Structure 1
Amino acid sequence: MAALRWTLRVSPMLARARTSPGSLATTCLADRYLWDRFHAQPRPGSVPTFDWFFGYEEVQGLLLPLLKEGPVSCPPRVLDVGCGTSGLCTSLYTQSPYPVDVLGVDFSPVAVAHMNRLLEGSQGQIPLSPGHPASHLCFRQADAQNLGPVAPSGSFQLLLDKGTWDAVARGGLPGARRMLSECLRVLSKQGTLIQFSDEDPDVRLPFLEQMCCGQTVTMQELGPFGGITYFAYLVKCAH
């Protein structure tokens, strides 16, 4: 097999990313302390979460069909890797009409603490309620490049990555490879990994096809949302 030739470039999303007052585009997005500071910043108004790209509403039509086959007695396990303070996990938990067992992980303890407070209710907030009585949600600190402490092999039916691979790749290709390998390791038989990104298919697909040899790799176009086209890269596990 020919050696993979992949040029690390800045995702359009990351080039646009802004914090207040500085820009994320000029920093190493694989740095945990950068994200600790980012997630510690006050949020405007009463908005409790922050989403890259888009929110749950834009992708629920893609996600829910993957969840509806699970029996109530054993809800499908969903892992949101690099969840940050996104509303993806919480919305799945509170809005899915099907039972789900969701785990959100992030290497930033600040992000994880914030999401646990949101889940449990604090400072007068009401705890989150599941959309289905059999659903579960929790948040734990973990590095996307080493999911062993929280995710045994083959333990998740659905793995979600919304911008995390893009950020890890800014730290170099070895870290990006490790993250993808870990994501594939924790998928159950016939499980699905979905990478949400604004990176062009002509860049992402060749990388995934070579790294995910023996797996089925497909792509769906999303949007445009706010004038921007995004992509869902789906990898179907075959082990």
Structure 2
Amino acid sequence: MAALRRALLAKGAHRALAGTLASSCLADRSLWDRLHAQPHPGKVPTFDWFFGYEEIQGLLLPLLRDAQAAHPLRVLDVGCGTSNLCTGLYTQSSHPVDVLGVDFSPVAVAHMNRLLEGSQGQAPLCPGHPASRLRFTQADALNLKPVADSGSFQLVLDKGTWDAVARAGLPRADQLLSECLRVLSPKGTLIQFSDEDPDVRLPCLEQRSLGRTVTMQELGPFRGITYFAYLVKGSH
């Protein structure tokens, strides 16, 4: 995961921690707690692996428009970390959205809740639509039953979470995918964002997506790296 190592160094993480995260088990919560506890660079309150909301809003907003049968549209971000993906959707979407960000790191969740509510002189976040909602909660993406009912989300986002979980073995990645598909509505869309090559990821998703349609879109390059959006859509 060259993109992850590069992002860690760009964040200014201590080199020892960056090396640990980039080369060891990325499913270890304590590693992420230590990383999220570090100060964010400059005055930016969020930090994104790969890219942020601004780079992919052109992909996300049409999906929101096409799924307006649900008011508001329910969106789940698994492994949200301290990314601006949830906050960008909440503050920038003119379509009503009900966004839930989940992460197994209590440090990341606490940081995002402080950002949402306003702290240290910052104003609370304002929704782009008066009916929009945003929540952050601690949860294990491999077991979403405590926070998400089956078929309850029209859009599920996974930005690098599969990549991290897979470092602990493909069975864990399979469990993550299974949970994402369980909470996805029959006509909903799961999007995995990754720098993994389509020749590797597409066959894996096609074999495990329970008859759903799997497609891919190329993104970037961003800072010299090409990424991919893998879309898993309901077939009925």
TM-score tier, shorter chain, comes to over 0.9
Spell out, residue by residue over 1:2-32, the C-alpha distance to the aligned partner (whole angstroms, 9 max, x if none): xxxxxxxxx3323545332322212210001
Q: 2:47 touches 2:82 (CA, 8 Å); kept in 1? A: yes
Distance 1:130 1:72 in 2: 20
Q: 1:115 touches 1:139 (CA, 8 Å); kept in 2? A: yes
2:163: which partner in 1? 166
Q: Is residue 72 of structure 2 the alignment partner of residue 78 of structure 1? A: no
Q: Is residue 147 of structure 2 the alignment partner of residue 184 of structure 1? A: no
For residue 192 of structure 2, the aligned residue among 171, 195, 209 is 195
Q: 1:184 touches 1:237 (CA, 8 Å); kept in 2? A: no
1:20: which partner in 2? 14
Q: 1:116 touches 1:139 (CA, 8 Å); kept in 2? A: yes
Closer, same or farther: CA 17–172 of 1 in aligned 2, 3 Å: farther
**Paired AA for residue 58 in structure 1:** E
Give the structure-1-normalised TM-score: 0.92
For residue 47 of structure 1, the aligned residue among 28, 44, 48 is 44
Spell out, residue by residue over 1:203-224, the C-alpha distance to the aligned partner (whole angstroms, 9 max, x if none): 0001000011311000000011
Give the structure-2-normalised TM-score: 0.93
2:56: which partner in 1? 59
Closer, same or farther: CA 177–71 of 1 in aligned 2, 3 Å: closer
Q: Say which structure is richer in helix.
A: 2
Query: Counterpart of 1:25 in 2: which secondary structure?
Result: helix
Q: 2:153 touches 2:185 (CA, 8 Å); kept in 1? A: yes
Distance 1:69 1:87 in 2: 23
Distance 1:15 1:212 in 2: 29
Deviates more, 1:12-21 or 1:214-223: 12-21
Distance 1:54 1:192 in 2: 20
1:30: which partner in 2? 27
Query: Counterpart of 2:22 in 1: which secondary structure?
Result: coil
Unaligned runs of 5+ in 2: none
Distance 1:154 1:209 in 2: 20
For residue 91 of structure 1, the aligned residue among 66, 88, 91 is 88
1:213: which partner in 2? 210
Closer, same or farther: CA 17–129 of 1 in aligned 2, 3 Å: closer
Work out the number of aligned pairs and report it: 229
Spell out, residue by residue over 1:164-217, the C-alpha distance to the aligned partner (whole angstroms, 9 max, x if none): 100000111111010000000000011000000000000000100001131100
Query: Counterpart of 1:33 in 2: which secondary structure?
Result: helix
Q: 2:3 touches 2:225 (CA, 8 Å); kept in 1? A: no
For residue 229 of structure 2, the aligned residue among 203, 221, 232 is 232
1:130: which partner in 2? 127
Q: 1:83 touches 1:106 (CA, 8 Å); kept in 2? A: yes
**Paired AA for residue 13 in structure 1:** A
